[in-house]
């Protein structure tokens, strides 16, 4: 008996899931409107409230030795250089270095403000790393990045004895904004709109207690449905349609 009840519940849950999916398809326009609304809001917010940022970068090579007369570089030297990258990044983002950068280059920013503009990352686990500067002005972003490239190597030598850095690439003035990412924001709006619409339709479906057809009665009660009152308007329309078709055929034959 318990197995029959469990099987019946499994069948009912499968039917419910099917009906829920059909409900989504039947109300596709609700999902489409929500998606369009949220994508539009995301784009409007991006255009009105998000300040475009430009990003410039400098590329720095890390050397763990200041001796330039060596004939070869050992693998241990490269390994040490790779480990020094994190140390050098922390030195560059320190208050001491950033304050000196602001003073020497006469930048209108404090050390904290400069630090909020900086990001640094190692290039493919090598002894090379990049320092990125984001700023609403493309010229200022390149100016700050070049200022760091000019000041940082000397400060690093003061803190880390027996090591040095070399600038591989100086900054170039960016020609297009780095952020905001319109595609990413549109995708977020799309997903948010779809989620809200599906959540609304799901709640509406689960809270619907109306009996829509004979199948709903059969699921609610164990008794079979003995009869069903037809839709009178539907029957009339079908009867009129059949009569009109018969009249057309009869008229055609009489001709």
Alpha-helix runs per DSSP H in the chain: 2-26, 28-49, 75-92, 95-104, 111-117, 138-159, 182-206, 214-220, 232-254
Please report the pLDDT score of residue 70 as a whole number.
43
Average pLDDT, the chain: 77
Q: Give the β-pairing of 54-63 and 118-122.
A: unpaired
Alpha-carbon gap, residue 56 to 135, rounded angstroms: 9
Domains and CATH numbers, the chain: 2-47+182-224 (no CATH), 54-169 (3.30.70.1130)
Q: Which long-range contacts (CB under 8 A, 24 or more apart) does 197-203 make?
A: 197/30, 197/31, 197/33, 197/34, 197/35, 198/24, 198/31, 200/30, 200/34, 201/23, 201/24, 201/27, 201/30, 201/31, 202/20
Q: Which residue has the tokens 């929500």?
A: 34
C-alpha closest to that of 121 among 55, 53, 52: 55
Within 10 Å of residue 134's Cβ, how many Cβ atoms?
20
Give per-residue pLDDT as tens, 96-136.
889 988 988 888 898 899 999 998 888 887 778 899 999 99
Candidate from 78-92, 119-133, 159-173, 190-204 with smallest mean pLDDT? 78-92
Range name among 16-25, 28-37, 156-165, 211-220 with the lowest pLDDT average: 211-220
Token pair 């409007």 in the structure block, residue: 44
pLDDT value, residue 186: 93
Residue 198: beta bridge partners? none
Q: What are phi and psi of 192, to 5 degrees?
A: -65, -45
Q: What's the pLDDT at 161?
A: 73
How far apart CA 28 and CA 22 sit, in angstroms, is 10
* pLDDT confidence of residue 69: 46
User: Mean pLDDT, to the nearest integer, of 231-245?
Assistant: 55
Q: To 10 degrees, the CA torsion angle through 114, 116, 118, 122?
A: 140
Compute the distance between CA of residue 115 and CA of residue 162 in angstroms, rounded to an integer. 27
Backbone phi, then psi, for 176, in 5-degree steps? Answer: -135, 150
pTM of the full predicted structure? Answer: 0.60
What φ, ψ does residue 110 adopt, rounded to 5°? -85, 170
The pLDDT score that the predictor gives to residue 172 is 92
Check whether 218 has a pLDDT greater than 70: no
Q: Residues 18-72: pLDDT tens digits? A: 777 888 888 899 999 999 999 999 999 988 888 899 999 999 887 755 444 444 4
DSSP letters along 40-99, please? HHHHHHHHHHPPPBEEEEEEEEEES------S---HHHHHHHHHHHHHHHHHHTSHHHHH
- Say how far apart CA 212 and CA 216 lie, in whole Å: 7
């Amino acid at each position: 008996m318990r197995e029959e009840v469990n099987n019946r519940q499994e069948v009912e849950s499968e039917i419910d899931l099917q009906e829920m999916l059909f409900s989504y398809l039947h109300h596709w326009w609700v999902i489409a409107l929500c998606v369009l609304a949220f994508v539009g809001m995301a784009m409007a917010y991006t255009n009105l409230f998000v300040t475009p940022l430009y990003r410039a970068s400098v590329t720095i090579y890390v050397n763990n030795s200041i001796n330039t007369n060596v004939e070869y570089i050992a693998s241990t030297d490269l390994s040490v250089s790779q480990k020094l990258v994190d140390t050098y990044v922390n030195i560059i983002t320190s208050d001491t270095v950033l304050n000196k950068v602001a003073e020497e280059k006469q930048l209108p920013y404090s050390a904290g403000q400069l630090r909020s503009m900086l990001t640094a990352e190692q290039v493919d686990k090598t002894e090379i790393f990049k320092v990125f500067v984001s700023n609403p002005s493309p010229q200022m972003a390149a100016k700050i990045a070049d200022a760091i490239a000019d000041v940082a190597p000397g400060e690093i030598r003061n803190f880390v004895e027996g090591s040095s850095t070399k600038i591989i690439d100086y900054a170039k003035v960016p020609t297009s904004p780095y952020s905001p990412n319109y595609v990413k924001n549109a995708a977020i709006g799309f997903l948010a709109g779809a989620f809200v619409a599906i959540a609304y339709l799901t709640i509406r479906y689960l809270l619907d207690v109306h009996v829509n057809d004979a199948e709903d009665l059969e699921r609610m009660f164990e008794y079979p449905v003995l009869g069903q009152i037809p839709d009178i308007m539907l029957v009339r329309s079908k009867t009129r349609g059949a009569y009109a078709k018969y009249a057309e055929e009869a008229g055609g034959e009489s001709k």
